[in-house]
Chain A
Amino acid sequence: MKSKRLGIWLALIVEVVLLTILTSSFGGGNFFESTFLNWSNISQVIRALSFIAIMAVGQSLVIITAGIDLSVGSILGLSGVVTAVLMNNGFDVASSAILGLVVGSLCGLANGLLITETKLPPFIATLGMMSIARGLAFALTGGETIRNLPAEFLTLGQGTILSIPIPIIIMAIFAFVVGYFLKATKWGRYVYAIGGNEEASHFSGVNVARMKILVYTLCGFAAGIAGVLFTARFGVGQSTAGLGYELDVIAAAVIGGISLSGGRGTILGAIIGSLLMGILRNGLVLLNVSAYWQQVAIGLVILLAVILDRKTKR
């Protein structure tokens, strides 16, 4: 389950170096200046990708069990809208945010129960949830954008601690905790075992159903965090928030070396995968590449990164 992932690190370094060079102007007062490699740009880029990265952490767990969760984008939208609606109806910031997370977790729990109790394939179960959660988000707002959220709530998405944006701090803590648990607890071991061989895990005494429910719930919880932060970042509750994000999230995990057939991958990999994608997007903007060609470039990078990773593995 451990393999040296040099390829993905290499890709990230090449990307950063290349963008730094392409966006730099030498001479002048400082030794060099780059519109890419400066703290303000970097912190903005990472804050922008932190939503994807947080969800990629949850998604990684699901994919390592050989599952998939297509509903994370919709859960992001629903959790954000729930939080916003509650605040506009007189709930305080803390309980609104917590209830947003609870709704996300409940969606994940529903996914887990559908997959373990009715034996639906994860693809189908979460495809259903993708539509249900998005529909609920629209129904809850009537499609209206929810504005006038309390300032202290907005700090969660826009504020900084020691000049580091709060979403980045939350992403780092969440990724570290989940990553460490995955690596060092028996539950983490069971996640890999289930993805490696579900039957054998069952016969070895792993409670497969319980672990799967836990993993999908955690994935929903992660999407909930992303939803709350996303709403705070942009200051509005929107039922279209996170539309199509599931594909970015899955792409980030896969670029990060998480095997879609299960049993392999690390949280660190998923974070690097998210960085790779987010930084590329920013770089293309800085280089004035048109939005259409950005899509093409991102597609190519996904393919390249995965090919490179396969070649350098072992």
Chain B
Amino acid sequence: MIPLLQMQNIRKQYPGVLALSDVSFDLRGGEVHCLVGENGAGKSTLMKVLSGAIKKDGGSILIDRKEVDFHSPADSQRVGIGMIYQEFKLVPELTVAENILLGNEPTKGKSPFVDYPKMHEISRNALAQLGEEIPTTAVVSSLSVAQRQIVEIAKAISKKVRILAMDEPSAALTENELKNLFTVIRRLKAEDVGIIYISHRLEEIFEIGDRLTVLRDGKFIHSCNVAESDRRSLVRWMVGRELEQEYPKVELQRGDEILRVESINSKLLDNINLTVHRGEIVGLAGLVGAGRSELARIIFSADPKEGGSIYLNRKEIHPHSPREAIDLGIGLLTEDRNKYGLIMQMNVRENISLSNLRDVVKGLFINRTKENSVADKFTNELRIKTPSIDQEVENLSGGNRQKVVLARWLFTKSKLLIFDEPTVGIDVGVKYEIYNLINQLAKDGIGVIVISSDLPELLGISDRIAVMWEGKLTGILSRAEATQEKVMTLATGGTVEVSNV
């Protein structure tokens, strides 16, 4: 079979790092080729080279066996390459139709005036192709994350793509939305579109992929049919060593009650009751929008509650701000570390000490020796890969960024820590380290709440799983009785026989 796309010996040099060294990759029409690797392995760089967003320093790209040379994304679009990036590239203030045809607007004849009826028609067709009904007049900022993802895909396919690259399209999707995405992908496959699929969730690769290519540290490692590989070997190729088990779990005797919330109500929450004990890891499951993050933010006092009480160590507390919650011993590792967690232009040291500067000040002024030693200690303990503690965090990879935020919360010496989606977009090796760290926290007698949309992960690490649906707590399952099916039933509003835990 003639490959649709061949990338041969691609090389990309950044100052100080060889981001891609002689990487080869090929793609046939009508297949899903998964590109796999840890953060920093070079997947996104390879895709940017393909799109023409960055220049390659060596190697060649062939389409239909003819060499091409792209200088900008517009060049690659012209030959039918569509890209869906990790971060959405939609303009939130414009409508769905305006976004889908941005830079490609149909005009009335040769005039510069936009032909709106035609624009909406093309958009509707593109969405219909995906089996989606999103009003083309809706403003993008009013759409859900999943709908935005669909618009992004519609935008890509409205240009008659032959090659579609998707970089982490599932990161923000729920189970159901993911199924829809896969239906879309199968439809595109049937139309002979070649699809490059990048995801950190390995199960997706086994579900949708035909072939896979593994990159590690900018080098080609392995390529084979998905059917010829299994999870274990895939992880080994990615990490370069054997991982004993995916979810290390330490069984602990749970201690005294550390947190109890009673009858919490708010705009999005309906009468939530939950208790967390010392040394216990409570998983919080539910679909996006079930109210898990809202509950976390209320416990952390980042949002106001409309009723109910919070007890820490059996004493009722009334914090009014995150600062007061932190001082009482509550920490929240927010979802979306880039948006809500890190100060990008600050360095590793400053990001680590930010929530607990009072422990590094001497009189009025920050004691740099002390601050350095704190930063050094956590950088070593968490194995944060950075040239120095004075490196700005925007230069770190996703996993290392997450470790910096983790270090910040470890340094606050909290009694209760809430982790909101702690492993999103993080590679297997670092995930494993984070699980171990959470275990260590529990061992040290800290109460832990973990919010995650990755169900196997939640089942793997939690002592108990509390499930939410539409702002209500629909059930709490013990580790022994929790299964994917039971959690999903509760998360979609069903009922399950549960023991009293």
- Tell me the B19-59 residues at the A interface (CB within 8 Å): none
Task: Among B323, B342, B350, point to the contact of A207 (Cβ < 8 A).
Answer: B323
Per-residue 0/1 for A165-203: is the Cβ within 8 Å of any B Cβ (1 yes, 0 no)?
000000000000000010011100100110011011111
Q: Which residues of A contact B334 (CB under 8 A)?
A: 200, 203
CB atoms of A192 and B340 under 8 A apart: no
Against A, the Cβ 8 Å flags (1 = close, 0 = not) of B338-356 are 0111111111001001110
Contact yes or no, A184 B366, CB < 8 A? yes
Contact A192 B322 (CB under 8 A): no
User: Which residues, 317 to 335 on B, are CB-close (under 8 Å) to A?
Assistant: 321-323, 325-327, 332, 334
In the complex formed, the residue of B with least CB distance to A263 is: B345
29 residue pairs bridging A and B, Cβ less than 8 Å apart = A1-B346, A2-B390, A184-B365, A184-B366, A185-B364, A185-B365, A185-B366, A186-B357, A186-B366, A189-B354, A189-B366, A192-B350, A196-B343, A200-B334, A200-B340, A200-B342, A202-B302, A202-B322, A203-B300, A203-B334, A203-B341, A204-B341, A204-B355, A204-B408, A205-B327, A206-B354, A207-B323, A263-B343, A263-B344
Identify the interface centre among B300, B334, B346, B350: most chain A CB within 10 Å of its CB.
Answer: B346
User: Is A134 interfacial (CB-CB < 8 Å)?
Assistant: no
Contact of B358 with A by CB under 8 A: yes
- In the complex, the answer to whether B341 meets A207 with C-beta atoms within 8 Å is no
Residues of chain B with a CB closer than 8 A to A1's CB: 345-347, 350
**Which residues does chain B contribute within 8 Å of A2, judged by CB atoms?**
390
Interface assignment of A264: CB less than 8 Å from any CB of chain B: yes
Which residues on A sit within 8 Å (CB–CB) of B353? Answer: 189
B243 in the interface, Cβ–Cβ < 8 Å?
Answer: no
* Across-interface contacts of A181 in B (CB, < 8 A): 364
Q: Is the CB of A201 within 8 A of B366?
A: no
Cβ-closest chain A residue relative to B343: A196
Closest chain A CB from B200 CB (angstroms)? 23
CB–CB B343/A199 < 8 A: no
Q: Does B224 interact with chain A (Cβ within 8 Å)?
A: no
Given A204-B354, A207-B323, is A199 in contact with B340 using a C-beta cutoff of 8 Å?
A: yes
State the CA gap A201–B323 with chains docked (Å): 10
Besides A189-B350, A199-B339, 4 other A-B contacts (C-beta < 8 A): A1-B350, A185-B366, A197-B343, A202-B322
- Bound form: Cα–Cα A184–B408 in Å: 19
**Interface status of B128 (Cβ within 8 A of chain A):** no
Contact assessment for B365 and A201 in the assembled complex, using a CB-CB cutoff below 8 Å: no
Q: How far is the CB of B372 from chain A (nearest CB, A)?
A: 14
Chain B residues within 8 Å of A, Cβ to Cβ: 300, 302, 321-323, 325-327, 332, 334, 339-347, 350, 353-355, 357-358, 361, 364-366, 390, 408, 412
Collect the chain A residues with CB atoms within 8 Å of residue B325's CB. Answer: 205
Q: Are A189 and B302 in contact, CB atoms less than 8 angstroms apart?
A: no
Within 8 A of B (CB), among A278-305: none
The proximity string for A residues 250-275 relative to B, scoring 1 for CB distances below 8 Å and 0 otherwise, is 00000000000001100000000000
| Interface band, chain A | 20 to 34
Known: A1-B350, A185-B365. A203 touches B332 (CB 8 A): yes
Residues in A whose Cβ lies below 8 Å from that of B321: 205, 207
User: Once the chains are docked, how many angstroms separate the CA of A206 from the CA of B412?
Assistant: 13
Q: Please name the residue on chain B nearest to A207 by beta carbon.
A: B323
Instruction: State the Cβ distance, B361 to closest chain A Cβ, in Å.
Output: 6
Minimum CB distance partner of A184 in chain B: B365
Quote the shortest CB–CB distance from B319 to chain A (angstroms). Answer: 11
A1-45 interface bits toward B, Cβ cutoff 8 Å, 1 = contact, 0 = none: 110000000000000000000000000000000000000000000
Q: Is B343 a contact partner of A192 (Cβ separation < 8 A)?
A: yes
Top 4 A-B pairs ranked by shortest CB distance? A196-B343, A186-B357, A205-B326, A184-B365
Are B323 and A196 neighbours in the complex by a CB distance under 8 Å? no
Complex Cα distance, B344 from A193, in Å, reads: 9
Chain B residue with Cβ nearest A180: B365
Question: Which residue in A185, A201, A207 is a CB contact (below 8 Å) of B343?
Answer: A201
Q: Which B residues lie within 8 Å of A202 (CB)?
A: 302, 322
- The answer to whether A205 touches B323, judged by C-beta atoms less than 8 angstroms apart, is yes
| Interface-centre pick from A203, A206, A263 (highest chain B CB count, 10 A) | A203
Q: Is the CB of B365 within 8 A of A200?
A: no
CB-CB < 8 A to A204: which residues of B? 322, 341, 354-355, 408
Q: A311 vs B121: C-alpha distance in the bound complex, in angstroms?
A: 46
Provide the bound-state CA to CA distance between A204 and B302, in Å. 10
Q: A189 vs B371: C-alpha distance in the bound complex, in angstroms? A: 13
For the complex, give the distance between the alpha carbons of A310 and B53 in Å.
Answer: 22
> Do the beta carbons of A206 and B323 come within 8 Å of each other?
yes
- Report Cα–Cα, A207/B320, bound state, in Å: 11
Output the nearest chain A residue to B300 by Cβ-Cβ distance.
A203
Task: Note all chain A residues with C-beta closer than 8 A to B350.
Answer: 1, 189, 192-193
Q: Within 8 Å CB of B357, what residues of A?
A: 186, 189
* Best-surrounded residue of B321, B332, B339, B344 (most CB of chain A within 10 A): B321
Q: Which A residues are CB-close (under 8 A) to B358?
A: 186
Q: A172 → chain B, closest Cβ, in Å? A: 20
CB-based contact B339/A200 at 8 Å: yes
User: Which B residues touch A206, using CB under 8 A?
Assistant: 323, 354
Contact A197 B326 (CB under 8 A): no
With contact pairs A184-B365, A192-B346, A193-B354 given, residues A203 and B302 touching in the complex (Cβ less than 8 Å): yes
Contacts of B345 in A (CB 8 A): 1, 192, 196, 263-264
Report how far A184 CA is from B360 CA in the complex, Å. 11
Complex CA gap A204/B366 in Å reads 17
Minimal Cβ-Cβ distance residue in A for B393: A196
**Which residues of A sit under 8 angstroms from B300, Cβ to Cβ?**
203
**By the criterion CB–CB under 8 Å, are A196 and B344 in contact?**
yes
Of chain B, the residue at the smallest CB distance from A186 is: B357
Instruction: State the Cβ distance, B293 to closest chain A Cβ, in Å.
Output: 12
Instruction: Identify the closest chain B residue to A262 (Cβ).
Output: B345
**Which B residues are in CB contact (< 8 Å) with A199?**
339-340
User: What residue in chain B is nearest A197 (Cβ atoms)?
Assistant: B343
Complex Cα–Cα for A231 and B358 (A): 42
Task: Give the docked Cα–Cα distance between A264 and B392 (Å).
Answer: 12
Bound Cα distance A140, B354 (Å): 46
CA distance A14 to B300 in the complex (A): 54
Contacting residues, chain B, for A185 (C-beta < 8 A): 361, 364-366
Q: In the complex, what distance in Å separates the CA atom of A67 from the CA atom of B327?
A: 28
Contact A196 B340, beta carbon cutoff 8 Å: no
By beta carbon, the residue of chain A nearest B409 is A204
Contact partners of B347 in chain A: CB under 8 A: 1
In the complex, chain A residues whose CB is within 8 Å of the CB of B327: 205
A207 to B326, CA, bound (A): 12
Would A196 and B322 be within 8 Å (CB), given that A184-B366, A186-B366, A203-B334 are in contact? no
Shortest CB distance B301–A (Å): 10
CA distance A189 to B341 in the complex (A): 16
A74 to B364, CA, bound (A): 33
Q: Please tell me which one of the listed residues B322, B339, B342, B365 contacts residue A205 in the complex, with CB atoms under 8 A apart.
A: B322
